[in-house]
Structure 1
């Protein structure tokens, strides 16, 4: 009885598994391209599907015609007419697949050369150039202007942005499905790709290479701004001084210093950058890549016991911070903003 029920459920289960790839966070899809590279991937995928559908329809149509028309009939014991060695048929079923492969080959090769990019910054002096370093399990973005951002990377709309890809520990893979393809971050090797956003927005990114127990939580965001807004953000990021960040939350700043947070997290160009830079922490939508920035309880848990939220990460635990100090520390972290009041981004 159980086997019978399982047999009935199998198609529904398979359908759910198939459809599970269609759902998820907004913009985390390659089926809604928002950039030139993503559009090329999407167009080639559709072209491949059209060709495969055409081939499948023709093959199955011929198959069913043959099954119906030439099926063995009662009393018919004669051998069918043999057609092996038919030159016209052999040429036909050789030429058609070759033509279909050429149709796929040409855009694939031309696009591959178009989207290839050199990792040498001197080759891209007129482009925004960002060095991306993958860590377990967060992303570091170093800008040519001399500042660092973590977990969220800002780019100008309508411009090709060059990303130089490196890794600190193991192999990661940088992927923004709505904007382009993926390329690996490999320790000791510099790869590169370019992305271009056609319109302002927030585009979700993922690590696409299994890199440890918290690989699935290694998210980041690409925030595309109009050029004027982007320039304003860059100016704000370069202008921040660490001492100024404590103006609205001095008690929290003291907790931050006392617990040696600045030994791992740089603020306004001061401190170490072994962990994500916190200069614009209050502007972010997520912390640890995946948790809502407004969730005080989760943020406190992250500071006290980071392994409980992201297994295998390198952030040290701070279980001894009191509730009062934790509230002050969270207030300070939320005060770390560079976005001008009233800005659209």
Structure 2
């Protein structure tokens, strides 16, 4: 009876694993379906390493099975000791040289790719007017959200990275508080963001994200950073170069935009009195704000990186951020806002957009 139960337990475990593994092939988040040149090269290295390991496992397994079958007691007898080959110089050379060859086959392309991905010299190239030619994004990881500054364009946003396709996008990575790690599984990465030093690398986006689920690639923090580490998501919109230029223009057009404390719109007035100290609604400027820039909040597909993008989710977040992201640094007197003010505030924030 117990043996039968154990078999069913194994079957159930395999069934559960199949459910989880079924999500590994999604284009918007899977490293096994790369959508950029960096991701494709890293995938090829993964396949090379897997091939070598599979070869080793197969060869060792075959040798083991042959020895097991050839020298089993039922065949050679109880008291037969097979010929011993210990001290064989030939065998010692073989099992020393073969691993070295396999390591070289793996190490050479890995080291070559590592130096290639670390080559960010193009970040400093300028044109005749002294303007940098490469698109650079300064990424700052915070508890538990992401800030993206485009220094050459003079704009800043958060939680949703917007990039053009068909060109290298260079990243300056840093952390504002504790160690995090920047990773877009379907495109490439990952790279740590540290408080003490600046890390640099680049990615390439081969295709637009509009046809993916939710119209975005998913980004993750890949370094355990606190109680809400699993909820530290960001999204990536990959646009055509023309659409990206239009987005940059729209962001620049928000310069000087602020919420008015004396506004007749209750949502705007509430925002100005309760939120403006931490959250900007202008896409121009530099990084370093205490809270996420909300200029494009209405264009996003998630609230707080993981909640459904609607007013009900936003109102729930405003009322109690700690309930959803324990340890986050959003503070304020939200308990003092009336339900009417929270309703109006959510409507106002959802209206912030540069794409509509």
Q: Same fold (TM over 0.5)?
A: yes
1:102, CA displacement in angstroms? 1.4
**Which residue of structure 2 aligns with residue 5 of structure 1?**
5
1:16, CA displacement in angstroms? 2.9
The counterpart of 2:227, out of the listed 195, 213, 225, is 213
Q: Higher mean Cα deviation, 206-215 or 78-87?
A: 78-87
**Which residue of structure 1 aligns with residue 107 of structure 2?**
105
Question: Does structure 1 residue 320 correspond to structure 2 residue 344?
Answer: no
Question: Does structure 1 residue 96 correspond to structure 2 residue 98?
Answer: yes
The counterpart of 2:272, out of the listed 253, 257, 265, is 257
Aligned mates of 2:44, 2:107 — CA distance in 1:
13
Whether the aligned pair in 1 keeps the contact of 2:303 and 2:313 (CA below 8 Å) is no
Whether the aligned pair in 2 keeps the contact of 1:176 and 1:182 (CA below 8 Å) is yes
**Which residue of structure 1 aligns with residue 303 of structure 2?**
287
CA distances 1:52-79 after superposition (whole Å, capped 9, x unpaired): 1122112111211111112234656343
1:86, CA displacement in angstroms? 3.3
**Which residue of structure 2 aligns with residue 38 of structure 1?**
39
Q: What secondary structure does 1:192 align onto?
A: strand
The counterpart of 2:312, out of the listed 297, 309, 319, is 297
**Which residue of structure 1 aligns with residue 184 of structure 2?**
176
Unaligned runs of 5+ in 1: none
CA distances 1:115-172 after superposition (whole Å, capped 9, x unpaired): 0145995358321101000110000011112221000011110111111011111111
Aligned mates of 1:33, 1:249 — CA distance in 2:
49
Aligned mates of 1:312, 1:178 — CA distance in 2:
28
Q: What secondary structure does 2:295 align onto?
A: coil
Aligned mates of 1:190, 1:249 — CA distance in 2:
45
**Which residue of structure 1 aligns with residue 59 of structure 2?**
58
Unaligned runs of 5+ in 2: 127-131, 210-215
Aligned mates of 1:211, 1:80 — CA distance in 2:
56
Distance 1:47 1:26, change over 3 A: closer
Question: Does structure 1 residue 186 correspond to structure 2 residue 194?
Answer: yes
**Which residue of structure 2 aligns with residue 129 of structure 1?**
136
Question: Does structure 1 residue 240 correspond to structure 2 residue 247?
Answer: no
The counterpart of 2:218, out of the listed 198, 204, 217, is 204
Whether the aligned pair in 2 keeps the contact of 1:172 and 1:184 (CA below 8 Å) is yes
Q: How many residues align?
A: 337
Q: What secondary structure does 2:188 align onto?
A: coil
Distance 1:76 1:4, change over 3 A: closer
**Which residue of structure 1 aligns with residue 145 of structure 2?**
138
1:185, CA displacement in angstroms? 0.8
Q: Higher mean Cα deviation, 3-12 or 87-96?
A: 3-12
Q: What secondary structure does 1:130 align onto?
A: strand
Aligned mates of 1:72, 1:232 — CA distance in 2:
78
Aligned mates of 1:325, 1:242 — CA distance in 2:
25
* RMSD of aligned Cα (Å): 2.7
1:255, CA displacement in angstroms? 1.6
Aligned mates of 2:103, 2:18 — CA distance in 1:
27
1:4, CA displacement in angstroms? 7.0
Question: Does structure 1 residue 77 correspond to structure 2 residue 92?
Answer: no
Whether the aligned pair in 2 keeps the contact of 1:249 and 1:332 (CA below 8 Å) is no
Aligned mates of 1:171, 1:165 — CA distance in 2:
11
1:17, CA displacement in angstroms? 4.6
Aligned mates of 2:257, 2:135 — CA distance in 1:
29
The counterpart of 2:168, out of the listed 160, 163, 167, is 160
TM-score (norm 2): 0.86
Whether the aligned pair in 2 keeps the contact of 1:304 and 1:320 (CA below 8 Å) is no
Whether the aligned pair in 1 keeps the contact of 2:259 and 2:269 (CA below 8 Å) is no
TM-score (norm 1): 0.89
